[in-house]
């Protein structure tokens, strides 16, 4: 049931991206990121993988900002939808980004995610994530092609941080394309 609900959000996010220029004119939206991520990547932060497919990712980074430690903190909302019908997620985060080496950038975040995967181990090909709500930790490094477009390498990790058992966690890794307003 939740998986069907998450899939309903994806067309809405695409429509929102199409109309993002309207939001940008109202100083609401700072940047949109679209990406393709390897799902449940083996041997990164979470250990072994169980799930398959690729994740299509869309993230909206909003205009309000707070300057901190040479970078900017902005709110972000996003979705990662799995192509194989495995775990998909919706997330919200505080995202800190700083410029490095001219046109380069580096970003970190912390937030929360809700997912449609399994909480307990019920199948060997599905992660047991322990709870419906998880902590969300993204890391991104990229290059600004110009003032509008960017490409980046993106990694994120979700887990319950041992606030529930089990706590298998899940990692994704891939490329994203950004459009800044």
pLDDT tens digits, residue range 29-66? 899 999 999 999 976 655 678 899 999 999 999 988 99
Does residue 108 carry a pLDDT above 80?
A: yes
The yes-or-no verdict on residue 24 having pLDDT over 90 is no
Query: What domains does the chain contain, in order, with CATH numbers?
Result: 2-180 (2.40.160.20)
- At residue 42, the pLDDT reads 78
Cα–Cα distance between 104 and 110 in angstroms, integer? 21
- For 179, half-sphere exposure in the C-beta direction (CA atoms, 13 angstrom radius) is 13
pLDDT digits over 112-167, tens only? Answer: 999 999 999 988 889 999 999 999 999 999 999 999 999 999 999 999 999 999 98
Q: From the CB of residue 133, how many other CB atoms can be counted at a distance below 10 Å?
A: 14
- Look at residue 50 in the predicted model and tell me its pLDDT: 86
Average pLDDT over residues 90-113: 96
Whether this prediction's pTM lies above 0.75 is answered by yes
Spatial distance between the Cα atoms of 166 and 156, rounded to a whole number of angstroms: 19
pLDDT of residue 19: 57
For position 20, what pLDDT does the model report? Answer: 60
Q: What is the pLDDT of residue 46?
A: 57
Please give the pLDDT value at position 86: 93
Quickly state the pLDDT bin for 3 (edges 50, 70, 90): low
pLDDT, position 68: 93
> What pLDDT is recorded for position 14?
60
How high is the pLDDT of residue 17?
59
Band (28; pLDDT cuts 50, 70, 90) = confident
Write the secondary structure of the chain as one string of H (helix), E (strand) and C (coil). Answer: CHHHHHHHHHHHHHHHHHCHHHHHHCCCEEEEEEEEEEECCCCCCCCCCCCCCEEEEEEEEECCCEEECCEEEEEEEEEEEECCCCCCEEEEEEEEEEEECCCEEEEEEEEEEEECCECCCCCCCCCECCCCEEEEEEEEEEEECCCCEEEEEEEEEEECCCCCCCCCCEEEEEEEEEEEC
Return the pLDDT at 18: 59
Mean pLDDT along residues 88-99:
97
């Amino acid at each position: 049931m939740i998986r069907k609900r998450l899939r309903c959000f994806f067309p809405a996010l695409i429509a929102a991206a199409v109309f993002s220029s309207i939001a940008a004119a109202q100083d609401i939206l700072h940047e949109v990121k679209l990406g393709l991520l390897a799902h449940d990547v083996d041997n990164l932060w979470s250990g072994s993988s169980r799930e398959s497919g690729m994740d299509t990712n869309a993230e909206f980074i909003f205009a309000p900002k707070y300057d901190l430690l040479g970078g900017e903190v902005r709110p972000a909302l996003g979705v990662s939808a799995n192509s194989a019908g495995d775990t998909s997620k919706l997330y919200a985060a505080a995202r800190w980004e700083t410029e490095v080496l001219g046109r380069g950038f580096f970003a970190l975040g912390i937030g929360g995610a809700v997912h449609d995967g399994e909480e307990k181990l019920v199948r060997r090909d599905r992660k047991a994530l322990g709870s419906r709500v998880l902590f969300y930790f993204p890391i991104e490094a990229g290059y600004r092609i110009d003032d509008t477009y960017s490409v980046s390498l993106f990694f994120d990790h979700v887990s319950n941080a041992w606030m529930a058992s089990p706590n298998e966690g899940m990692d994704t890794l891939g490329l994203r394309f950004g459009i800044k307003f």
